[in-house]
Structure 1
Amino acid sequence: MQDLKSLKFFLEEGRDPMYAKDEKPGEGTYICTMCYSEIILKSNSDRLPRCPDCNATFYNEVI
């Protein structure tokens, strides 16, 4: 249910809820869309890596 609320928030705000490997989405926590592993970016200049657990390349931001 929380995922649907997050998606609704992003869509209402006009933001894309999904980020890809090598994007710089900003400081925050991101969840792999395949295995739900968390990635924490500590700087706005950090890039999203491939998921270290499943090698996937897409993430959603935790809000």
Structure 2
Amino acid sequence: MIALSRVSESKGAAMQYNTGDKPGEGTYRCEHCGYVVRITSDMESLPACPNCGHHEFEKIEND
């Protein structure tokens, strides 16, 4: 996992994931504080948010 900090709101609908899910490679934003983590392996699980400890994330599109 690579922590990326906060980013602005994403455009369009996003899928929601929870801590422990293995959603595949991509960028995920915490629903609570906006902190962004990057999953770099299909086998890697989403952690609790490193910033606030929240457990719900949305997948965001990479620019």
Same topology, TM > 0.5 = yes
Aligned-residue CA RMSD (Å): 1.4
Runs of 4 or more above 4 Å deviation: none
The structure in which a higher percent of residues are helix is 1
Q: When the two structures are superposed, what TM-score results if normalisation uses the length of structure 1?
A: 0.77
Larger Rg: 1
Matches within 5 A, 1:1-63: 3=10, 5=12, 7=13, 17-63=15-61
> What is the TM-score with the length of structure 2 in the denominator?
0.77
Higher relative contact order (CA 8 A, sep 6+): 2
Unaligned runs of 5+ residues in structure 2 are 1-8
Stretches of structure 1 lacking an aligned partner (at least 5 in a row): 11-16
